[in-house]
Amino acid sequence: MSMRPIRMGMVGGGRDAFIGAVHRMAASLDGSMELVAGALSSTPEKAMASGADLGLDADRTYPSWEQMLESELALPADQRIEAVVIVTPNHVHFPVAKAAMEAGFHVVCDKPLVLTDEEASELVAVQQKTGRVFAVTYNYTGYPMIKEARHLVQRGAIGKVRKVIVEYNQGWLATPLETSGQKQADWRTDPKRAGAGGAMGDIGSHAENLVSYVTGLKISEFTSDVTTHVEGRSIDDDTSILLRFEGGARGILTASQICPGCLNDLRLRVWGTQGGLAWHQEDPNTLKQTSLEGPDRIHHRADGSLCDAATAVTRLPGGHPEAFIEAFANVYRGAAAAMHAGQDDGEGYDYPTVHDGARGVKFIGAVIAGGGQGWQKFQE
């Protein structure tokens, strides 16, 4: 990027935090953003130690996010942070995001956005009032082949969409891992910190967003089977949903974390009146296209035939795989460009916005509340 990096302060993401490191790598990959400050843990001692680990200046490593916002605002405008990146457990997202926007900072927030529909609606209102850029890291939208799939749907290459199947299967919570003290399992299975949705909130939120991004379809009705298989767990670990979309298309969404042998098995299949598309996150550099007229076609990343949107987020020649970090970085690239422009325009700069995050929160809550209760209406 030719633009200077956006100065960012991170909340959460300190020692032993997987996703914080991912965000830092993604933000720095293209020089989109630069970490200059942080409140990296809810424990002040750990926050300060984590800042030292990352080489942050001691006077810009803060014991709390409240102190970070206050102290950064006191700095000259050309030195203070411009964006707050939130990589905490879910229950902390709302107060930090709201305070950051009200203080004049842009926001990049991990998903799911917040715990409740009410919190999501309030963040949307604050964003509209402040005009700050707000990006939600639904990072799978950043894959070049997902952008190509979206392009093919939009230009009618597979006809009118009739059927969508999206599934995200993991196996890491097939046993009561949370009882061992494992940090990620501990908070992700706690509804007070994770929210009402377990598997549905953690990975089902990605599945819903992927369908919306690629197809543009809006969910009109759903019926859900929400299950907890591991004894003693107080949150879902396996959810299956039948979907009806506006315009008549049908769909299936599965989010499960009790499938031994599955790592990050996210798959999307879309069929229309003239053909279909299939993509697998663990083999992300190819996209299969089928047609009534045949033969099947395999699109390869960087093969010279992809749409402008896919080409623009491709860094390496074909045959050199690009994957998770690069896709994450594409979200940061779009958000940073929007921050430089001073426009919260996810469509124009191609990143998920607070509106995408709010829709996801509403869908998670509806699915969990409606589990086993037959067909439910859904309106974004």
pLDDT score, position 380: 87
CA 202/CA 18 separation, integer angstroms: 14
Q: Which structural domains are found in the chain, ordered by start?
A: 6-139 (3.40.50.720), 147-312+354-377 (3.30.360.10)
Cα–Cα nearest to 73, from 99, 47, 46, 44: 99
Q: Compute CA distances 356 → 83, 123, 213, 326, 361, whole Å.
A: 19, 12, 9, 21, 9
- Beta-bridge partner residues of 293: none
Under 8 Å between Cβ of 140 and 281: yes
Q: pLDDT tens-digit profile of 77-109? A: 999 999 999 999 999 999 999 999 999 999 999
Q: Is the entire prediction scored with pTM above 0.85?
A: yes
CA distance between the termini of the chain: 35
327-356: b (≥16 Cβ within 10 Å) or e: bbbbbbbbbbbbbbeeebebeebbbbbbbb
Q: For residues 226 and 233, is the Cβ–Cβ distance under 8 A? A: no
For residue 300, give the nearest of 315, 282, 285, 310 by alpha carbon. Answer: 285
Q: Which pLDDT tens digits describe the chain residue by residue (380 residues)?
A: 568 999 999 999 999 889 999 999 999 999 999 999 999 999 999 999 999 999 999 999 999 999 999 999 999 999 999 999 999 999 999 999 999 999 999 999 999 999 999 999 999 999 999 999 999 999 999 999 999 999 999 999 999 999 999 999 999 999 999 999 999 999 999 999 999 999 999 999 999 999 999 999 999 999 999 999 999 999 999 999 999 999 999 999 999 999 999 999 999 999 999 999 999 999 999 999 999 998 999 999 999 999 999 999 999 999 999 999 999 999 999 999 999 999 999 999 999 999 999 999 999 999 999 999 999 999 98
Beta carbons of 7 and 36 less than 8 angstroms apart: yes
HSE-CB at 205 with a 13 A cutoff on CA atoms is 29
